Amino acid sequence: MDVVGYAVHGEREKLAPLKFARRDVGAEDVAIAIEWSGVCHSDIHTGRSEWGDVMFPCVPGHEIVGRVTAVGSDVTKFSVGQQVGVGVYVDSCRECEQCRSGMSNYCAKGMIGTYNNPDREGDGYTLGGYANGIVVDHGYVVNVPESLDPAGAAPLLCAGITLYSPLKEWGAGPGKKVGIVGLGGLGHMGVKFAKALGAHVTVFSHSASKKDDALSMGADDFIVTTDETVFETHQKQFDLLINTVSAPIDLNLYLELLGLDGTLVMVGLAPEPYPIKAFSMLAQRRRIAGSMIGPVAQLQEMLDFAAEHNIVSDVEVIKADYINEAWDRVVESDVRYRFVIDASTFATT
């Protein structure tokens, strides 16, 4: 299948159009006409070679919503015309304990990312969602309920699951005090899901200007962190904190906010190590945990939950030729709260 998309063609180059072919639709594959493609900060880290080696041309994008155009002979779960989504990974080893227990996002051999990863056959590498079509194994495709705004649904495939998964794992719900640290692409999904799950939700942000947004998304409280006395005032009050800030912040301050057995979840990938004080952990038997997207079954659960509670991302829809500017704005945190590419505009570039 011939498609057109946007790629980084070489180190330090800007994104530019690329015509390329997707693989033929195999027996277990689903061909998808991409309609909406979200812009994730990790696209930028990868495309700008900030996270290591890049295979050029690199087509980023792992927040994909579109419609099925063809299915392989062994595919029964999806049919032509159905609205579907693809997230951060498109394959895994399927043999390790993690894969067999349905946790393929933690595949022991490493999940196969939607872009810039050697593919399973080993004879090529994956090209992502900044394009108007993709072919993906049906085991890594999910249904996107028709009731969801499809552009707003695209960021659910990465930003959404990144927050939903730890909120579920660490028991966000009625009677729990949850803090979302940072109100950006990730954080705003955390506010919406935590609220819908029934938790009391507090946003921690250094931008007082985001207060109205936070409250309108469902936050019960908004704490400006430029005044560090707030960490004293609110100590031992929270059950769960999710840090969505990828810049270095002092996690010891946030640990003090957790009560007995409280957990601080890290979902951002700051390059520098965080200095963690032992005493911040021992007091109140606190925990720090990592969390990395979620398995395919949970991706589906999250989309169904989102449909039930009418949750989508707040998005700014852009055309394909705006991507380079959009990347710059993401780096400057100048987006409320996620860019989504109208994939129909790839064909005209």
Binding site for a second copy (CB under 8 A): 97-98, 101, 103, 106, 108, 169, 236, 252, 259-260, 263, 266-270, 273-292
Task: Choose between 4 and 276: whose C-beta lies nearer to a second copy.
Answer: 276
From the CB of 320, what's the least distance to a second copy, in Å?
A: 30
Which residues does 192 contact at the CB level (< 8 Å), separation at least 6? 217, 218, 309, 311
CB of 288 to a second copy, least distance (A): 5
Least distance (Å) between residue 281 CB and a second copy: 3
Task: Print burial letters for 120-142: b (CB count within 10 Å at least 16), e (below 16).
Answer: eeeeebbbbbbbbbbbbbbebbb
Choose between 98 and 126: whose C-beta lies nearer to a second copy: 98
Cis peptide before 57 (omega within 30 of 0): yes
Using DSSP's 3-state secondary structure scheme, residue 229 falls into: coil
* Minimum distance, C-beta of residue 177 to a second copy, in the bound complex (Å): 13
145, 75 contact by CB (below 8 A): no
- Residue 103 or residue 178: which is nearer to a second copy going by CB? 103
Task: Report residue 54 CA to chain centroid gap.
Answer: 20
| In the complex, minimum distance from the CB of residue 301 to a second copy, in angstroms, rounded to a whole number | 17
Give the burial class of 88: count Cβ atoms within 10 A of its Cβ; 0-12 exposed, 13-18 middle, 19 or more buried: buried
Q: Is-contact 247 222, C-beta < 8 A? A: no
| Shortest Å distance, C-beta 282 to a second copy | 4
Round to whole Å and give the CA distance between 287 and 293. Answer: 19
Cα–Cα distance for residue pair 21/151, rounded to 1 Å: 25
Closest to a second copy by CB, 98 vs 205, is 98
Q: Which is nearer to a second copy, 293 or 323 (CB)?
A: 293
* Residue (224 or 276) nearer to a second copy, CB: 276
Is the Cβ–Cβ distance between 191 and 314 less than 8 Å?
Answer: no
